[in-house]
Amino acid sequence: MVVRGLERVARARDRVLVEADEPSTDAVDVIVIDLDQPEAAEDLARWRERLPEAFIAGHLGTPDQDRWLAAERAGCDLVANRGALASGLQRRLPPPGARRRPRLPLLAAADVPGRLGLVVRAPDTPVGPIALYHIGGELYAVEDRCPHAGATLSEGEVDGSIVTCPRHGSQFDVCTGERTRGPADAALRTFRAVEEDGFVHLLLDPDQEDECN
């Protein structure tokens, strides 16, 4: 079932499907890993290090939220049940020649309803510390470091969409990143948060990720 689905995806992208432990070339667009295999974690780390621009997908035989999240946080661009792998790839693969857009799972989508203001802190991401807010029924992700003196903004009070820095009182609109009161003189970086496959993901632009490496 998995192979037949992958063959359809490969034909649609004018690519060839091969089975290999190591590629004979670096011209690899997509790597698919069976996450039920004992060596899956090691394979994932090895492929991501060797081919950082490749799109890596993993598949599971049965749903397992903990393993799903762990695989995405370790570098999988897509995790799917086996029956949904091909359709997930067709939906999520970037156009030929385009750079992959990394994403980082933040929390289960079911944990969002009923939580207003700050939803979660993510101190270690490829773009630095991030805070996710739920304001007016929408999700907003902003950097969680005050540009004035580096304080953790999410430790400050939130009034509507305005967060106040707990150290020096600077204020920012978490929906737009706009600075509304000093002493900070710069806005916050904002990031797109998307809900997909039952999780809320931080969607990263490749250029944003590069700026922080």
Q: Residue 192 is encoded by which pair of tokens?
A: 């797109």
| Whether the Cβ atoms of residue 71 and residue 56 lie closer than 8 Å to each other | no
- Which band of pLDDT confidence, cut at 50, 70 and 90, is reported for residue 208? low
- Helices 85-92 and 2-12: crossing angle in degrees, nearest 10, is 20
| Whether the Cβ atoms of residue 181 and residue 171 lie closer than 8 Å to each other | yes
Q: For the full predicted model, state whether its pTM sits above 0.85.
A: no
Q: Taking 90 as the threshold, does the pLDDT of residue 191 lie above it?
A: yes
**Residue 187 or 199, more confident:** 187
28-55 pLDDT tens trace:
888 999 999 999 989 898 888 888 888 9
Q: Which CATH architecture has domain 2-100?
A: 3-Layer(aba) Sandwich (3.40)
Residues 56 and 75: their CA atoms lie apart, in Å, by: 7
Half-sphere exposure of 12 (CA within 13 A, CB side): 14
The 3-state DSSP class for residue 82 equals helix
Q: From the CB of residue 118, how many other CB atoms can be counted at a distance below 10 Å?
A: 19
Mean pLDDT, all residues of the chain: 86
73-115 pLDDT tens trace:
888 888 989 888 999 888 888 887 777 778 888 888 888 988 8
β-strand partners of 103: 203
pLDDT of residue 26: 62
Candidates 164, 201, 158, 199; CA nearest to 179 is: 164
Angle at CA of residue 100, ends 7 and 104, nearest 5°:
110
Q: Taking 90 as the threshold, does the pLDDT of residue 162 lie above it?
A: yes
63 burial type by CB count under 10 A (0-12 exposed, 13-18 middle, 19+ buried): exposed
pLDDT of residue 73: 82
Do 2-100 and 108-193 share a fold? no
Fold of 108-193: Rieske Iron-sulfur Protein (2.102.10)
pLDDT of residue 23: 59
- Which band of pLDDT confidence, cut at 50, 70 and 90, is reported for residue 174? very high
Domain borders along the chain are 2-100, 108-193
pLDDT of residue 210: 42
Residues 101 and 119: their CA atoms lie apart, in Å, by: 23
pLDDT of residue 22: 65
